[in-house]
Structure 1
């Protein structure tokens, strides 16, 4: 753990102390209108899976990290390189799934770090990448423990090797939120004993034959259903939970306080989609304190 001492004022949005620590998933009633959103997505939102290819197959290992990199320009950023370098240090195989424009090669820098590589089209969001990696690992490395993350976050800023042994559930999330319904947020989570049974259990949110190309459809059909569907087959929980009736979205409004408590990540949206939460320069200062390139 560390403390950021030189950033004045950024702790004042919301302390992580208002969050529930080590929360075991409890299903909740979806809010009014959820059924209509999900029905509309099922009828009109499904699309064929993006083109995909396994370019460097995984081998058997007891631990893997599955990292999704969205590369609409076909290039890795300094933030990607920071993440790749940190993930490659781990005592685990690194499987990188890249989303790329048509006829674009995976950047050579990916191969410098990754033990397994796959490519896919730009559609389908992170869940289509997770599905590709999950099925490949079930085939090539059954029984492994799997750390899953996407590139919507800066980091990791802590030693993730310890996170495997610290995972308290079969599916362990970092933050959970009750908006729409109680759910695990999908930017990072850990799955234990990944095998054919687990892949089949999670197939409603990691489907083989279709995907979703609208952000709202992904949220309603995949992210907010993941924990509930998984809970029918395995234990599920999160390190921090926020009830939206009492607190705000934790990875935004408790971001700096969580970092100082040992949280591994910082959401990139704090600089882009949600620049209203913290001052832009304060977030840049935090990144500098963490020896991360400016976002």
Structure 2
């Protein structure tokens, strides 16, 4: 069920916790290197990868290949201290590449990439995602771009307040003015490396902050996290991802048959992707 977001207030207790996080947990934004700069384009995909050892996994490569199939420009922001290794492995696979230091969670990578796009390709519509998901197993861009909002999330939930989940979303018209409106969520000069600071100051605030300046909505909404508690239902409704955590941290949540079904869906997708590549003579 799709849902529109409106600006809503926060409890005094939550506001106090956010102040504490800002005072105690803020750190300098991670240093980064622009290996390959963005060039003007109407559409970009920003893919954040956590690569502490500099190794690009098979699942990363599958996602990169799937994202490139739609013809949109691909920017990768990689978190790694192995600059040379990451640059050597990823630069041939994308249209723009930034490597940042590992601290700061995905939001620090999102911030670096979005501000870079705002400066060098203003007005672009940007699909943003991280590597916590397998896929996209369906056409991610077509799904997001068919929605009416300026900021579109795939899913949203009520955990820690109603919010868009940040593993994948579309932000239209990325320019300096839009980024200034979102500066408190995507700061240029600071970042957070503690999980709850990221949740309370960034993840759970994105939709609320954005709704003050633009239209905001999500395609699927649930009381709980649908990607964890209803993944099979989502996939049957053409949801484009399977969360990696379903086979690790949350492996106990899904029934064995459901886990097998999701793994089969992803494996079939990989086979089809490989067959398409072979058919193209690549």
TM-score, L = length of structure 2: 0.90
| Structure 2: distance between partners of 1:31 and 1:263 | 33
How many pairs does the alignment contain? 269
Partners of 1:26 and 1:182 within 8 A in 2: no
| Structure 2: distance between partners of 1:103 and 1:169 | 36
Partners of 1:58 and 1:136 within 8 A in 2: yes
Instruction: Show the counterpart of 2:14.
Output: 34
Partners of 2:38 and 2:96 within 8 A in 1: yes
1:273 pairs with 2:249:
yes
Q: How far did 1:161 drift?
A: 3.5
RMSD: 1.9
Q: Which has the higher helix share?
A: 2
Gaps of 5+ in 1: 1-20
Question: In the alignment, which of 136, 145, 148 is matched to residue 165 of structure 1?
Answer: 145
1:4-33, CA deviations, whole angstroms, 9 ceiling, x for partnerless residues? Answer: xxxxxxxxxxxxxxxxx1210134554674
1:75 pairs with 2:51:
no
Partners of 2:35 and 2:87 within 8 A in 1: no
Q: How far did 1:92 drift?
A: 1.2
| Structure 2: distance between partners of 1:73 and 1:128 | 19
| Structure 1: distance between partners of 2:65 and 2:71 | 13
| Structure 1: distance between partners of 2:94 and 2:220 | 30
Partners of 2:242 and 2:262 within 8 A in 1: no
Instruction: Show the counterpart of 1:13.
Output: none
Instruction: Show the counterpart of 1:89.
Output: 69
Cα–Cα, structure 1 residues 282 and 107, in superposed 2: closer, same or farther, change >3 Å?
farther
Instruction: Show the counterpart of 1:288.
Output: 267
Bigger mean CA deviation after superposition, 80-89 or 163-172: 163-172
Q: How far did 1:167 drift?
A: 2.4
Question: In the alignment, which of 210, 213, 216 is matched to residue 233 of structure 1?
Answer: 213
Gaps of 5+ in 2: 273-282
| Structure 2: distance between partners of 1:165 and 1:187 | 17
